[in-house]
Amino acid sequence: MNPLHVDTQKIRLGESSGRAGAPIGVFDSGIGGLSVLNALRVALPRERFVYFADTGHAPYGERTDAHVIERTHLVAEHLLTTCGVKALVVACNTATAAAIHLLREAYPSLPLVGLEPALKPAVARSATRHIAVLATRGTVTSRKFEMLRQSLADRARFSVVACDGLAGAIERADSAAIATLCARYAHAAGTFGALPGHIDTLVLGCTHYPLVAAELRRHTGNDVAFIDTGEAVARQTQRLLAAASLLGDTGMGAASFIGSGPASTLEHAVARWTVQPANFA
């Protein structure tokens, strides 16, 4: 995939009610965004989706900003020009932090939804005011994340852990590595529980991490609240489509999957992590 030009006519067509039947584009550096796609399909059951997994260039969270920005633009252009999407969900915290402002500048009329770690909902939920955040290094070292954390610093204590290698292990479906890394990073966060000073809320700050929530739960106990962004992203996508008169209301709902890595890897991930039906292109 190497699109060089944006077809602005397709972008303009996406603004009209006649394009309500066009698909919604969703992309991530790999399979993590499937957790967001699941939430989108529950909230918008009549919509069609095209999911792009950039597994050939993953994980974004351990790449430079320049690399992430370049890939984000290329994938966005592909989804717009080749797939004719009417809206775009950047289902990746790292890509959002590095490039969402640039996408908004490039496509000012496109319904565009990004992600950020769910610190605000976590603050609202936490009783002990001690919150753990697991995310990629690219996310936790970004200016966008630091500004968000600082804005809430007077309301809660945050134990932030950069989980190097965890997204990659999930991509590879490496069960042994997933178990080892989940244990390591949960321990690094601190003590979980409901007592004063304990961590009672865990923010899953990478879209990959909800896929291994059961493994993380082994180290936190059942009383700790897990917070991710899937439902909030789905609600925001629904609001933007409604405002642009682009909600699909006659379709049966479906999802197609494309990517830059091995097709077998994506097919296995979709079979394991998503609702059906699914089509591969």
Supply the DSSP symbol for 186: H
Helix (H) or strand (E) holding 52: strand 48-53
Q: Is the dihedral of CA 18, 23, 24, 27 positive or negative?
A: negative
Task: Quote the CA–CA distance of 252 and 99 in Å, as a whole number.
Answer: 33
Q: Is the N-terminal amide bond of 277 cis, ω within 30° of 0?
A: yes
Decide if 206 is catalytic.
Answer: yes
Out of 83, 92, 163, 182, which one is annotated catalytic?
A: 92
Supply the DSSP symbol for 161: E
Out of 83, 163, 182, 206, which one is annotated catalytic?
A: 206
- Nearest to 57, CA basis, from 78, 74, 38: 74
Supply the DSSP symbol for 227: E
Decide if 182 is catalytic.
Answer: no
DSSP code string of 125-137: H-SSSEEEEEE-H
- Nearest to 255, CA basis, from 20, 91, 24, 18: 24
Q: Which residues are catalytic?
A: 92, 206
